[in-house]
């Protein structure tokens, strides 16, 4: 495990090196899944930490995203006298783009940084080396449970985010701005498609984002230079790399799935 050689200089070479190391690390993580089944409780604990503990921020953010989208759309669409379509636009925007992307960004900030910092600190304080001395596989015990937890948590969190966004849109649109309740739902159900919007949009995208964010978080943790400055550096890198990866991947996925 010596992923970062600080050779400096060429950014392209460094990025390629990062991507290559990340890919190899992903294979290592996947190969360690059978071994990490022994630490099943650890996976559950991590799922509780990255998933259940993130619920509050995801729900609040989803609610506000739905509310503000509805507010904006209502005022624009009222120019054309088609405010009843705003619920459906909120649903499409949230399912196809905002839900997975915003959840992934929040997840990277909330859980990804925590994973990186925790593993980085373990490295800085030689806990990883200690595990190896005690014949405990740090990949199977530390890395894979966190990776799996992120992978499982992301789609679930995205679903919660989307549901809250719809709830927020309903709150603002129907309760506050007075769009007809029946029109709101019937327009939405007429346009939203289970396969292209829910499965492709929400589930597939969030699964891909979950994979990328958890991989980056765990990888950066293990690649942390074992100093306190290194932990700070790695945590920052997790957020930056995750955000870029999420948005770039989102474009690629949308281009392929649409």
Partner 1 sequence: MSQPRSSYAVGTGLFIVLGFAALAYLATQTTSIANVHQGASYTVEAHFANIGQLKDRAPVKIAGVRVGQVESIGLASGQDAADVKLSIDKRYDKIPLDSVASIYTSGLLGDQYIGIEYGHSKKVVADGGTLALTKPAQQLEAMLGKFFGAGGVADNLGGTYTVSARFSNVGTLSVGAPVKMAGVPIGSVQAVQVDPVKLDAKVTMAIDKRYNQIPDDSAAAVFTSGLIGTQYVAIQPGGSPDVLKNGSQLILTQSAMQLEDLIGKFLVNGSSSGSSKSSNTPSGKH
DSSP assignments along 81-92, one per residue = T-GGGHHHHHHH
Please give the structure tokens belonging to residue 16. 């390629």
User: What are the backbone angles phi and psi of residue 80, rounded to the nearest 5°?
Assistant: -95, 5
> Binders of partner 1 among 4-63, rule CB under 8 A?
41, 44-45, 47-49, 51-52, 55
Q: What's the chain's Rg over C-alpha atoms?
A: 21
Q: CB atoms < 10 A from the CB of 104, how many?
A: 29
> Binders of partner 1 among 107-146, rule CB under 8 A?
none
Please give the structure tokens belonging to residue 214. 């958890």
Please say which residue, 15 or 189, places its beta carbon nearer to partner 1: 189
- The crossing angle, in degrees rounded to 10, of helices 99-107 and 205-222 is 20
Please say which residue, 134 or 190, places its beta carbon nearer to partner 1: 190
Instruction: Give yes or no for residue 76 binding partner 1 (CB under 8 A).
Output: no
To the nearest whole angstrom, how small is the minimum distance from the Cβ of residue 22 to partner 1?
Answer: 27
To the nearest whole angstrom, how small is the minimum distance from the Cβ of residue 213 to partner 1?
Answer: 16
Q: Categorise residue 5: left if φ over 0, alpha if ψ from -120 to 50, beta otherwise.
A: beta
- Compose the 197-236 pattern: x for residues touching partner 1 by CB under 8 A, - for all others: xx---xx---------------------------------
> Binders of partner 1 among 79-98, rule CB under 8 A?
82, 91, 95
Question: Is 235 in contact with 120 (CB distance < 8 Å)?
Answer: yes
Round to whole Å and give the CA distance between 17 and 147. 21
To the nearest whole angstrom, how small is the minimum distance from the Cβ of residue 4 to partner 1?
Answer: 30
Please say which residue, 49 or 233, places its beta carbon nearer to partner 1: 49
Per CB under 8 A, the segment of 29-37, 196-204, 216-224, 237-245 that binds partner 1 is 196-204
Q: Which of 29, 89, 102, 162 binds partner 1 (CB under 8 A)?
A: 162
Question: Is 157 in contact with 205 (CB distance < 8 Å)?
Answer: no
- The crossing angle, in degrees rounded to 10, of helices 205-222 and 228-257 is 160
Please say which residue, 10 or 189, places its beta carbon nearer to partner 1: 189
**Would you tell me which residues interact with partner 1 (CB under 8 A)?**
41, 44-45, 47-49, 51-52, 55, 82, 91, 95, 152-153, 155-157, 159-160, 162-163, 166, 185, 188-195, 197-198, 202-203
């Amino acid at each position: 495990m010596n992923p970062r050689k600080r050779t400096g200089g060429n950014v392209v070479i460094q990025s390629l090196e990062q991507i290559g190391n990340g890919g190899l690390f992903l294979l290592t993580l996947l190969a360690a899944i059978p071994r990490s089944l022994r630490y099943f409780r650890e996976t559950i604990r991590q799922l509780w930490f990255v998933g259940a503990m993130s619920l509050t921020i995801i729900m609040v953010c989803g609610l506000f995203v739905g509310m503000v989208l509805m507010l904006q759309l209502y005022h624009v669409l009222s120019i054309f006298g088609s405010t009843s379509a705003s619920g459906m636009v909120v649903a499409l925007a949230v399912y196809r783009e905002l839900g997975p992307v915003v959840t992934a960004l929040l997840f990277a900030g909330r859980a990804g940084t925590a994973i990186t910092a925790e593993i980085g600190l373990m490295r800085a304080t030689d806990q990883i080396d200690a595990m190896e001395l005690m014949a405990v596989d740090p990949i199977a015990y530390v890395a894979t449970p966190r990776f799996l937890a992120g992978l499982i948590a992301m789609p679930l969190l995205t679903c919660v985010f989307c549901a809250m966004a719809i709830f927020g849109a309903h709150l603002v649109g129907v309760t506050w701005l007075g769009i007809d309740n029946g029109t709101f739902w019937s327009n939405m159900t007429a346009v939203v498609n289970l396969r292209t919007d829910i499965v492709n949009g929400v589930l597939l995208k969030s699964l891909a984002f979950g994979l990328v964010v958890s991989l980056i978080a765990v990888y950066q943790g293990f690649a942390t230079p074992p100093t306190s400055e290194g932990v700070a550096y790695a945590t920052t890198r997790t957020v930056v790399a995750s955000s870029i990866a999420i948005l770039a991947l989102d474009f690629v996925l949308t281009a392929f799935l649409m």
